[in-house]
Amino acid sequence: MIEYLKKIISDQFEASLCMLGDCIQNCPQNHWHEKNVNMDFGYVAYHTLCFVDLYLSPDEASFQLRDFHNEQDEDPFKPKLDYPLTQEIVSDYLKTCRKKALDTVAEETENSLKKESGFDWLPITRGELHIYNIRHIQHHTGQLSAYLRRIDINAKWVSTGWNPGVI
């Protein structure tokens, strides 16, 4: 049962990240910095991936800041001012998060999935944290795909797994 559970969690991480990647790739350059709800389109994608990356870590203390994270700010998820959030950088970050998701879920055990999330502001199990993380990806992917539809670009739906035909 545990292998089946890990497979479907991995498949849904990949499907949701694939859909996010489709939005990132299909956003016209002149819309990348346009407001989408309360953040720029590109920043929504970046923000989503920051939390994917964080919640795939065992806990906050073990989270590794990336080159573009601002370790000098009280909010390390704000990108460095001299580090522009281009589509290429965010797409590369998505690839990093995809690999981390697959590696992290593959290492889970029944016991590790039943343990606390590792984040004191999320009093849930590690297993539920993975579902929470996927829901967060889909929440923001929905915002981005709705924005793209308003400018006549249709985002693709991925049911399960990684679909190389999408991105």
pLDDT in tens, 2-39: 999 999 999 999 999 999 999 999 999 999 999 888 88
Mean pLDDT throughout 148-152?
A: 97
Return the exposure string of 97-114: e unless at least 16 CB atoms fall within 10 Å of the residue's CB, then b.
Answer: bbebbbebbeebeeeebe
Beta strand segments in the chain, E: 35-36, 39-40
Q: Can you tell me whether residue 1 is helix, strand or coil?
A: coil
Q: Model-level pTM?
A: 0.92
Mean pLDDT across the stretch 51-63?
95
What is residue 39's predicted lDDT score, i.e. its pLDDT? 87
Q: Output the pLDDT for position 166.
A: 77
- Residue numbers belonging to the annotated binding site for a divalent metal cation: 47, 136, 140
Write the single-letter amino acid at 160: T
pLDDT digit string, tens, across residues 70-122: 665 566 666 655 567 899 999 999 999 999 999 999 999 999 999 999 999 99
Fold of 2-29+38-150: Four Helix Bundle (Hemerythrin (Met), subunit A) (1.20.120)
